[in-house]
Chain A
Amino acid sequence: MSKQTHDRARTTEETLLSVRNLSTHYREGEDDVPVRAVDGVDLEIARGETYGLVGESGCGKSTLGLSLIRALPPQGEIIDGEIHLDGREIGQPARSAVKDVQWADISMIYQGAQNAFNPVKTVGEQIREPLRIHDVVPEGERAGHVEELLDKVNLQPDITDQYPHELSGGMKQRAAIAMAIACEPELLIADEPTTALDVIVQAEVLNMLQRLQEELNFGMLVISHNLAAIMKLSDRVGVMYGGELVETAPSEVLYDSPRHPYTARLLRSLIDPRRPPEQVETIEGTPPDLRDPPTGCRFADRCDLATEQCTAEAPSLEAMSERHEAACFHHDEVSEL
């Protein structure tokens, strides 16, 4: 696995995306207690690099992605922090002021590509739309450009005139990828790109994303709870728990020597066909309520290593080795778990 992940990437050291102390909260009304979906996250992605984000459902992965592309639902708001893309601050300005960045520089493959297309418009019309909005391709060349995009994702050009319901699930997923790379973005966010697809199509989609990245050299943020897919695809992996980033490392380092107990448990919950099912572990308990997160470590009540210190104070990310950080007071004991 580690060989594969390293041979293909043309990762440069040039930082493309830099997220500092990002906090995104949801609240229904003025008096509502906010849900701290993303709470003080730091993140860096280099040009051409693939960063994988894993964690249980509701840990803030998707919210982080939506914050980056500035498409949070009306209840969501970036409370604090900075998002720099290519040196430009895009986190704090009003959404209307960063419209030019959306899709042109950051685009996104949304979770559930089955609904990625408007049912009453043709597929071609929708892939062409961002080209028009951002005027990246002259009007006369747009149709041809759409055909090239479709070719890149192995789709026939004649689907431009078809409606979404006329395509299969796999075709829709590929068309959604074509739509996402239409303006050749700098950063592609892929939120659960393979969920709800069958295994063969999953592999196809993952290979396609890798190939496109080599060709177009965009940075990629892959969000998934499918740890196996993330490991295969990513150069580096970040593990989120309860709205916080708890560990980040190159994917093979993370796989071989996790330093946060949550990561270790997550890895052991991977289903390995060679192991009998009783050896597949689950993690007892549920993630914390993000309306009122615990003051100490958010994983403490589910953790075997937890001590009084863990419930009293919150650990922050510390360097373990080069490019490997973890937020745990007991990171030395994780290997003995």
Chain B
Amino acid sequence: MASTSSKKAYIATRVRNYLAAFAAILVVNFAIPRVMPGDPTTRFVGPGFTEEARQELLREFGLTQPLWEQFFLYLTNTLTGDFGVSFARYPTPVMELIVQRLPRTLYLMGASVTISVVLGIPLGAIAAWKFGDRQDLVITQSSLLFRSIPTFWLAILLAFLFGYVVPLFPISGATSNATHPSFISYFMDLTYHTFLPVVTMSAYFLAGYTFLMRGSLLDILPENYIKIAESKGLSERQVLFGHAVAPAFPPVLTQLGFQIGRLAGGAVLVETVFSYPGMGQLMFESVLARDYPVIQATFFFLAVMVLGSMFLAEILYTVIDPRIGGSE
């Protein structure tokens, strides 16, 4: 059968496309901080900060070299994992900051993706199955509400209600203790601290998956094979989850790939509101401080995460739907 070779061709095409996107990211990532107004010395401006001192600083940071030399240096350094030292937290290596913060953001994202998918898919499926009924109405209306609430506003509201009025949860930091006797206790501490940020981020995306699954299923449900599954004597639940959800899944998977990207944006807001020391907060602070190396590194890692998750989604298509990348 031709399906294995065409599947290889499908994957090869995707790898090529994503490598091109990766190259584009490298270029854009180099350009963005340099086209922003101001430079890293802007924050030193004040009495006693002479033009000579400024030029001296710029030289030290390597910003007086020609652009193409800067680019070449940037390229070799990025690809070898050397992101230089932070300007704002001089001389902490950027990689050290990333290694410290990336796992926290990954945890935040992982938890909210998991929650929104695990809850959103069955909710959307039920809404589609009960199309027009009360269950559908309740699910769609509340999803619409959560979809419309601005993330930052929900973050502030939750922080105010459950961090201040009824202080159930901490509203800053990632952990209470600097050291932990075991991974479990670290994990528990982290979960406790991330509860409100995770709820905030899940709310928005949960609603997205609910709508997507509902819409996708409404296209699938009138199909003959669903009627046949019903006629075979299966229960409603078996028809819905055994026959209808899988063919309705590809759009959800696409969304999943994109969500990681929007989660990165959401992470900036939510981490800032909850003073959660993750990548989002790091990005926010470094943009304010024009901390080029850190900006570039955080952008780079977030972009790679988005690219990676979308690539993964495209590969997963072929597993879920045999028509994609199969024999043509």
Partner-B contacts on A (CB < 8 A): 29, 69-71, 73-74, 96, 99-104, 107-108, 110-113, 115-121, 126, 129-130, 133-134, 163, 165-166, 179
A71 x B230 contact (CB < 8 A): yes
Residue of B nearest to A103 (CB): B232
**Residue B247 at the chain A interface, CB threshold 8 Å:** yes
CB distance from B212 to the nearest CB of A (A): 17
A130 x B247 contact (CB < 8 A): no
A165 x B322 contact (CB < 8 A): yes
With a CB–CB cut-off of 8 A, which chain B residues contact A117?
225
A108 x B225 contact (CB < 8 A): no
CB distance from A163 to the nearest CB of B (A): 4
Q: How far is the CA of A221 from the CA of B224 in the complex (A)?
A: 19
Query: Which residue in A73, A112, A130 is a CB contact (below 8 Å) of B224?
Result: A112
B227 x A119 contact (CB < 8 A): no
**Residue B326 at the chain A interface, CB threshold 8 Å:** yes
Considering only CB atoms and an 8 Å cut-off, how many residues of chain B contact the other chain? 25
**Residue B323 at the chain A interface, CB threshold 8 Å:** yes
Q: How far is the CA of A120 from the CA of B323 in the complex (A)?
A: 8
Binary interface encoding of chain B residues 304-317 relative to chain A, with 1 for a CB under 8 A from any of its CBs, else 0: 00000000000000
Q: How far is the CA of A101 from the CA of B233 in the complex (A)?
A: 8
Query: Can you identify 10 A-B contacts, CB atoms within 8 angstroms?
Result: A70-B231, A74-B131, A99-B235, A102-B231, A102-B233, A103-B232, A111-B224, A115-B224, A116-B225, A120-B246
A71 x B231 contact (CB < 8 A): yes
CB distance from B275 to the nearest CB of A (A): 45
Best-buried of B222, B232, B246, B322 by chain A (most CB within 10 Å): B232
Q: How far is the CA of A126 from the CA of B247 in the complex (A)?
A: 14
State the main secondary structure of chain A at its contact with B. Answer: loop
Given contacts A96-B235, A134-B233, A110 and B322 within 8 Å (CB-CB): no
With a CB–CB cut-off of 8 A, which chain A residues contact B326?
163, 165-166
Q: How far is the CA of A118 from the CA of B232 in the complex (A)?
A: 13
CB distance from B266 to the nearest CB of A (A): 31
Q: Which residues of chain B in 222-271 are interfacial with respect to chain A, using CB atoms and an 8 Å cutoff?
A: 222-225, 227-235, 243, 246-247
**Residue B321 at the chain A interface, CB threshold 8 Å:** yes
CB distance from A196 to the nearest CB of B (A): 12
With a CB–CB cut-off of 8 A, which chain A residues contact B243?
118, 121
